[in-house]
Amino acid sequence: MKRRLMTIVALVLVLAMALTITAAVGGCKRGPKGVIKVGVAGPMQFIQGQHHWLGAELAAEEINQAGGVDIGGDKYLIELVKIDTNEILSVDDAAAAIERAITVDKVDFIVGTIRTEAALAMQEVAMDHQKIFIVCGASHTQLADKVAADYDRYKYWFRVTPINVGHLVTTSMLLLQHVGQVVRDELGIQTPKVAVIIEKAVAGDPLAAAAQMVIPSFGMQVVGVWRPSPTATDMTAELTAIRNSGANIIYTYFSASAGVTYAKQWGELQIPAASVGINVEAQAKGFMDATGGFGNYEFTLNTLARIKITDKTIPFYDKFVERSGQFPTYNAGTYDAIYIWKEAAERAASLDSDDIVAEMEKTDYHAAAGRIVFDEKHDVKWGPGFVTAVGTQWQDGELVCVWPYGWQGITYEGTVEYKLPPWMLGD
C-alpha cells in the first residue's frame, strides 16, 4: 500500500514537472502585440525587492492609465513581470532568474537588483541577450566601469539609483560638515570632536579608513573609531566611551538592525553628541516605534523625502506611502527607471534595444529623485543641478528633510532647518 502510494506521488510529481517545463519553455511566445513586458528584478522576500516592485507597479499603473507607451504611433501597455532573484542568498539563482525572464517570459527590459556581486552576474546575462538593464539598488562603481571598458557589450546597462558608492560617501561627509557648522555656530566649538561609529561589516572597512583620513580636513578632530556588530543589541559600552571621549558629533554607518539599537540608546542615554551619517533603519517609517520614541534627532543620508525635489517627488511619495504604508527607499527608483525607458523608447519610436540605448544616453529627465542625466559610464550624475540625495532627520516624530540647506545654493521646497538634540543645548 505504502509502495503504491509513493509510486503515485512520484508519478504525479514527474508529470507536473514535465507539464510545467513544457508550458514554461515551449509556450514562451511573445505576448500579444501592444504589451511591453518589464522585468522587475529583486529579492522579493525582502523589503528591497518589495520596494522595487511597488515603485514599478505605480509607474506601470500611471503609464497604462495615461494610454500606455507610444511607439511610433502604436500604443503599448506596460506589463510587469516579477523576477524574484533570491540574490541575497544565491548568485547563480539570480543569474538563472534573469535568463528565465529574458528567454521564457520575454521581458523587453529589466529594472531592479540590489546586491552588487549578484548584479555583476546578472549584468553578464542581460548583456549576452542585449537587454536593457537599469539598476535601482546596487551602488558599486564596478558595474559602471564595465561600460567604459567595453562599451559595445555593456552599453545596455544603466543606473538610476542610488548614486554610486563614491558619491554616497561624499554626500554623507557633506552632511557631517553641515552638522559641524551648526555645532560651531550654536555651541561655539570651532574644532568639533567627531566619534566614528561604523558597523563591523565589510562595506564599513573602507569607510572607516576614509573617515579618519578626511574628517580632519574639515577642521574637525577624530576622537576614536568604534566598530559594533551589525546585529548588536546593546551599545551602552560604545556610547559611554563616546560620551567620555568628549565628542560633539557622532559619524555613523549602519546598514542593519544595529542602527535601531544605536539610535534608541543614543537618545535614551542623551549622549551629548549630534548623530549624523548613514543609518538605513532611520529611513524606515517604523523607526520611531522601533526605537521606543528615542530616535528623534537621528540624521541620515536618504534618497527621497516628502519635499519638492521636482514636481514628481511629493505625488510619488504620497502614493507610495498610501499604497504600502512605508516610506519609499532608493529601491523604489524603479518608478523613475520605467519612466526614463518609456521616454527614450518614445523618442526612438522603436523597441530595438540599440535605438533605445542611444536615446537613453540623451536622457535629461526630472524624476522623483531629481534631475536624471547619465554620465559616459551610464551612471546617474550626482551634484548640484543633478541628483543630490538628501539628508533626513527625525524631528518630533516626523521624518523631515534638512539637507541640502543652502549647499551650492540648493534648498528644496519643504526642507527645514537641522536641529541639534536639545540635551546638547542644555535645554
Partner 1 sequence: MTVQKYLYRLYQEFKGEILVLPGRTVLFAGGVLLFLLPLVWNHPYLLRIVAMTCIFAIYAASWDLLSGFVGQLNLGHAIFFGTAAYTSALLNLHLGLPPWLTIPVGAFGAVLMGLLIGVPCLRLKGQYLSLATLAFPIILMGLVLLFSPVTGGELGVSGLTRLAATRLREYYVTAGLAVVLCLAMWKITDSKLGIIFHAIREDEVAARASGINTPLYKVLAFCLSGFFAGLAGGLYAHFMRIAGPSTLGVLMSFQPIIWSIFGGIATIYGAVVGVFVLFPMVEFFRMAMEIRMLLFAGVIILVLRFMPEGLVPWLIDRLERQCPRCKERSAVTRRTCRVCGTPLRVPLRRAAPPHAGGAAATERGGD
- Name 145's bridge partners: none
Q: Name the one range near partner 1 by CB under 8 A: 55-63, 95-103, 283-291, 344-352.
A: 95-103
User: DSSP per residue over 163-194, as a string?
Assistant: --HHHHHHHHHHHHHHHHHHHHHHH--SS-EE
Q: Name the one range near partner 1 by CB under 8 A: 30-38, 96-104, 192-200, 326-334.
A: 96-104
Q: Are strands 390-395 and 398-403 parallel, antiparallel or unpaired?
A: antiparallel
- Residues 273, 366: Cα–Cα separation, whole Å: 37
Pick the binder of partner 1 from 99, 343, 361, 375 (CB under 8 A). Answer: 99
List the x/- string, 136-155, binding to partner 1 by CB under 8 A: ----x-x---x--x------
| By the rule CB under 8 A, 17 interacts with partner 1 | yes
**Minimum CB–partner distance for residue 35 and partner 1 (Å):** 20
Pick the binder of partner 1 from 21, 148, 209, 237 (CB under 8 A). Answer: 21
The grid cell for 97 is 532568474
Instruction: Give the residue with the Cβ less far from partner 1, 139 or 248.
Output: 139
CB 109 within 8 A of CB 341: yes
| By the rule CB under 8 A, 231 interacts with partner 1 | no
Pure H helices in 22-66:
47-65
Pick the binder of partner 1 from 58, 80, 91, 215 (CB under 8 A). Answer: 91
**Minimum CB–partner distance for residue 382 and partner 1 (Å):** 20
- Which residue type does 276 have? V
Pick the binder of partner 1 from 124, 268, 346, 375 (CB under 8 A). Answer: 124
- Which residue type does 32 have? P
Q: Which of 385, 386, 372, 311 is nearest to 160 (CA)?
A: 372
Q: Contacts with partner 1: how many residues (CB under 8 A)?
A: 35
| By the rule CB under 8 A, 89 interacts with partner 1 | yes
CB 328 within 8 A of CB 304: yes
User: DSSP per residue over 265-300, as a string?
Assistant: HHHHTT-SSEEEEEEGGGGSTTHHHHTTTTTTT-EE
Binding positions for partner 1, rule: CB under 8 A: 2, 6, 9, 17, 20-21, 24-25, 28, 44-45, 84, 86, 89-92, 95-97, 99-100, 103-104, 116-117, 120-121, 124, 140, 142, 146, 149, 202-203
